[in-house]
Amino acid sequence: MTLENFSIGSDCDDGGHAATEVGSMLFTRGVSGTRVMTGRQEKAVEGHRFKCWGSHSDEATTPYLTAAAAIGMDRAEVDLFVRKLDKVLAEVKEKRKRKKQERRKDKSED
């Protein structure tokens, strides 16, 4: 799923931090098998430069989240994952909203 709204734009262009925070927050809540790609990391290996390191393509510049599923998972496990993901996304969104309000307040005080 795309995480574009969590790390692109004038109010939140943070090098992908908000997007990777989603993955970190899921992990601390016991969710494994997720991976966040920012589309902004580069890496050199043996002299070869890889854009969008870890992604499926050098053109994948939009942050996204992947989630692994295992054979034998039942619906309750998927529902639990979705509930945790929804909660994390809401928390990150609220945190960004507060930061944006603080920046506006700071600018108005200048």
How far apart CA 80 and CA 21 sit, in angstroms, is 19
pLDDT over threshold 70, residue 92: yes
pLDDT for res 75: 94
**pLDDT band for position 93 (cuts 50, 70, 90):** confident
How far apart CA 22 and CA 90 sit, in angstroms, is 10
pTM: 0.74
Measure CA 6 to chain center.
7
CB 34 within 8 A of CB 26: yes
How far apart CA 62 and CA 43 sit, in angstroms, is 17
Considering the chain, what percentage of its residues have pLDDT values greater than 70?
89
* Three-class secondary structure of residue 14 per DSSP: coil
The tokens describing 103, both together, are 């920046």
Q: Which CATH class is domain 4-104?
A: alpha beta
**pLDDT band for position 62 (cuts 50, 70, 90):** confident
pLDDT for res 77: 93
pLDDT over threshold 60, residue 86: yes
